[in-house]
Amino acid sequence: SQQGEEDPQALSIQEGENATMNCSYKTSINNLQWYRQNSGRGLVHLILIRSNEREKHSGRLRVTLDTSKKSSSLLITASRAADTASYFCATDSSSFQGGSEKLVFGKGTKLTVNP
Amino acid sequence: ETGVTQTPRHLVMGMTNKKSLKCEQHLGHNAMYWYKQSAKKPLELMFVYNFKEQTENNSVPSRFSPECPNSSHLFLHLHTLQPEDSALYLCASSKGLGTGELFFGEGSRLTVL
């Protein structure tokens, strides 16, 4: 069943602009992760934020997590054409549901950065 | 290069064929996963293996048969598939269950005619 839902579904910006993608989820989580996927390729892990963290940075990426609103955002600053890809959030609720590791992915945001 | 290798990258098969997808990870991880990615749908978890034992079968039809001979190799055996099974099949691994980051292969693009 789908847990995370990204918004917007598609985003088109100019190089140098910032890109913000949002993710909303329904149940309590252990952590939330963001992944990137270039067209037709595998997913690449970008960043993991735990439920007791509010903000995390990695290079040009900034992720926030608001557990009270069950939402997260991914900000890419000073975007480049090479950032063009789909971005997915994935939630891990395994510590709450029990059983095995089960990352549940959203449908993704398709980001296009125009040169 | 993520350390997870999937073969073949592309596969076309008829509904009566039998084929297999292979995944190998060189990361020393203990958990391996199969995901299915169809157009306009979220990634669907299919199977989870931990120390080569299956820990999750997400109600996958029996025409998909996984095999995990050791912690480094994972197979997905395919037989009598349907056209709606056409998708990108992604293999992933992690250090262990509940240890966060997944490392994905490049995927096997399957087309069922």
Report residue A46 CA to chain centroid gap: 8
Contact B56 A100 (CB under 8 A): yes
Please report the pLDDT score of residue B96 as a whole number.
Answer: 86
Please report the pLDDT score of residue A100 as a whole number.
Answer: 46
Contact A101 B42 (CB under 8 A): no
Comparing CB atoms, the residue among B101, B105, B106 nearest residue A45 is B101
**Average predicted confidence (pLDDT) for chain B:** 93
Instruction: Tell me the nearest-neighbour CA distance from A72 into chain B, angstroms.
Output: 17
Please report the pLDDT score of residue A1 as a whole number.
Answer: 47
Contact A40 B97 (CB under 8 A): no
Residues of chain A with Cβ-Cβ distance to B23 below 8 Å are: none
Please report the pLDDT score of residue B93 as a whole number.
Answer: 95
- Lookup result for tokens 């252990």: A30
Provide the pLDDT confidence category of residue B41 given band limits of 50, 70 and 90: confident
Comparing CB atoms, the residue among A43, A102, A106 nearest residue B45 is A102
Please report the pLDDT score of residue A95 as a whole number.
Answer: 55
- Counting as low any pLDDT under 70, the low residues of chain A are 1-3, 94-101
